[in-house]
Amino acid sequence: MNNFLKQYWWKALAIVLLLFAIIGGLWVPLYHGTEDLSFPNLAILNESIRNLLYHVPMWFAMVFLLLLSFIYSISYLSRPTIEKDSYAAGFAEIGILFGALGIFTGMIWAKSTWGAFWTNDPKLNGAAIGMLIYLAYIILRSSVDDEVKRAKLAASYNIFAFVMYIAFIFVIPRLTDSLHPGNGGNPAFSSYDLDNTLRLFFYPATIGWIALSMWMAGLWIRANNIKRKLDENEI
Amino acid sequence: MNFVKQVWHFVLMELRLELRLKYAIAALSMYVLSTVYLVYFSLEYQGVLEDMEATIWSIFFWLIVLFTTVNVTFQSFSKITQGRMLFYYTLVSPQVFILSKLIVNALISLVLSIFTGMIFIFVLGNPINQSFIFLLSLCLGTVGYSLLFTYISGIAAKSGGNSALAVVLGFPLSIPLLSIIVKLFGESFNAQVGLNFDNNLLIALGFNLIPLLLALILFPYIWRD
């Protein structure tokens, strides 16, 4: 993983793909009957359909990072090294950052289409609970001074919380109906998936945001490792 | 000694210890009593007790059960001294230790939540129409909480934190079970609907099993300092 994080090619790819998705996503017009290259013009959503290129890939990036953090936590418990703990922590922290970005982009979108920043929606509440769980993870980490003990407790909480959260994600849809696109007959991403123009920008955006999040996490983890080594040398 | 026998003896020992230290159980009962009285007083003072909805009854009930469970589980770890823990290391396997803790905490929480339910019925009135569904959801909810919070309290106690840390770590994880249980619980207020063994019941059961399995798998990694 350390070697992969130091390579350049996928970071260059992230820049190219994100520039393509952001510039293209803002430049392509909505469909008014004559354009060749256009996004679908759906009622209610209108121009806010472009949020698909930010909100959804940011959530994907978050899920990807939290999954990596989960894997590193399992790997820590089976063969403990302090590097694995720093990976698990770093991926979770940047995962929270992307979760927060996903919530903010979603809130701005919700204000224009639903008329409120926050609604009592199962998907929103699910996201909020996920954020709470990982903020609790950070608090747990900061409450333990001993490095080995912190790594052990944080890894076990991470695994416990991740499994419980995944179980919850499967339960959510049973609780109530959702306003969220893709539920209960609302204009949905499944119908955009059929749209080739949107797909042309959505897939690069997804790969780009995930690669960017990996890049940020890599820098964050390496900086933290250097900081830790400096502290050790001082003592 | 085989596994089951070890767990049985450990559970008996824990219960005996619990009964010997009467102040712990007494303190928890007082905790429940004074919280219920607090709820009663605030509702009575606002004049909403006469035509109170059953939903409010159930929300207050589950909040009190939740906090009582956190206290039960946290004190079960925090009262263990370093020396006693060393004694346990040499005596039993981590699975025996955590399974006994899970069982004992579930039993104590269950007793306390039934006690809470009785005082609630006595003080705040009785909205229950179907006592079987009421008892079933009460058992599933309380046992599920105590399983979840036993493991979380183990982590919180190991980290040297206080019970506030257990609350911070556990409450986000308790929301899924809470939302299902409140739904099941609400069915016991309705005289028309009988018990249907639908998905909610299975999901509640699942949220009892998942923390149980995870605690058994993960606890061996954290129990030694």
Read off the pLDDT of residues A77-104 as tens digits, 9 standing for 90 and up. 999 999 999 999 999 999 999 999 999 9
Q: What percent of chain A has pLDDT over 90?
A: 44
Say whether residue B225 is in contact with chain A using an 8 A CB cutoff.
yes
- Structural Rg of chain B based on CA atoms: 18
What pLDDT, on the 0 to 100 scale, is given for residue A160?
A: 93
Q: Which amino acid is at B156?
A: A
Contacting residues of A for B165, CB less than 8 Å apart: 139-140, 143
End-to-end alpha-carbon separation of chain A, Å?
29
CA A9 to CA B170: how far, in whole Å? 42
Of the listed ranges A7-16, A38-47, B67-76, B163-172, the least confidently predicted one is A38-47
**C-alpha B84: how far from chain center:** 24
Q: What percent of chain A has pLDDT over 70?
A: 90
CA B118 to CA B126: how far, in whole Å? 9
CB B164 within 8 A of CB A135: no
Residues B200/B204/B205/B207 CA torsion (nearest 10 deg) = 140
User: Which residue among A144, A163, A171 places its CB closest to the CB of B159?
Assistant: A144
Structural domain that includes position B86 = 3-222
**Does pLDDT of A187 surpass 60?**
no
Phi, psi of A39 (to 5 degrees): -90, 155
Say whether residue A74 is in contact with chain B using an 8 A CB cutoff.
no
Residue A179 located in a structural domain: yes
Enumerate helices (H) and strands (E) in chain A, giving the number of each.
8, 0
What pLDDT, on the 0 to 100 scale, is given for residue A65?
A: 94
User: Which residue among B159, B171, B215 places its CB closest to the CB of A140?
Assistant: B159
Count structural domains, chain B: 1
CB pair distance less than 8 Å for A149 and B159 = yes
CA B54 to CA B220: how far, in whole Å? 43
Say whether residue B151 is in contact with chain A using an 8 A CB cutoff.
yes
**Does pLDDT of B100 surpass 60?**
yes
What pLDDT, on the 0 to 100 scale, is given for residue B186?
A: 81
pLDDT tens digit sequence for B102-115: 999 999 999 999 99
**C-alpha B140: how far from chain center:** 10
CB pair distance less than 8 Å for A167 and B176 = yes
What pLDDT, on the 0 to 100 scale, is given for residue A188?
A: 53
What pLDDT, on the 0 to 100 scale, is given for residue A77?
A: 93
Query: Among A141, A156, A158, A169, which would you mutate to test the B interface (most chain B Cβ atoms within 10 Å of its Cβ)?
Result: A156
Q: Which amino acid is at B138?
A: L
pLDDT tens digit sequence for B176-211: 888 888 888 888 777 776 666 667 788 889 889 999
Of the listed ranges A78-92, A116-130, B70-84, B127-141, the least confidently predicted one is A116-130
**Does pLDDT of A2 surpass 80?**
no
Count structural domains, chain A: 1
Residue with tokens 């008892």: B135
* The most confident of B78-82, B95-99, B129-133, by mean pLDDT: B95-99
Structural domain that includes position A215 = 7-29+39-234
Contacting residues of A for B211, CB less than 8 Å apart: 160, 164
What pLDDT, on the 0 to 100 scale, is given for residue A234?
A: 76
What pLDDT, on the 0 to 100 scale, is given for residue A67?
A: 94
CA A95 to CA A162: how far, in whole Å? 13
Residue A34 located in a structural domain: no
- Nearest-CA distance from A152 to chain B in Å? 6
As given in the structure block, the two tokens for residue B63 are 């909040």
Residue A189 pLDDT grade (very low, low, confident, very high; cuts 50, 70, 90): low
pLDDT tens digit sequence for A154-181: 999 999 999 988 888 777 766 666 667 6
Mean pLDDT computed over every residue of chain A: 85
pLDDT tens digit sequence for A4-38: 888 889 999 999 999 998 898 888 877 777 777 77
Residue A150 located in a structural domain: yes
CB B151 within 8 A of CB B214: yes
Residue A2 located in a structural domain: no
User: Which residue among B172, B206, B218 places its CB closest to the CB of A132?
Assistant: B172
Of the listed ranges A185-199, B58-72, B106-120, the least confidently predicted one is A185-199
pLDDT tens digit sequence for B19-36: 888 888 888 889 999 999
As given in the structure block, the two tokens for residue A21 are 């998705």
Q: Which amino acid is at B96?
A: V
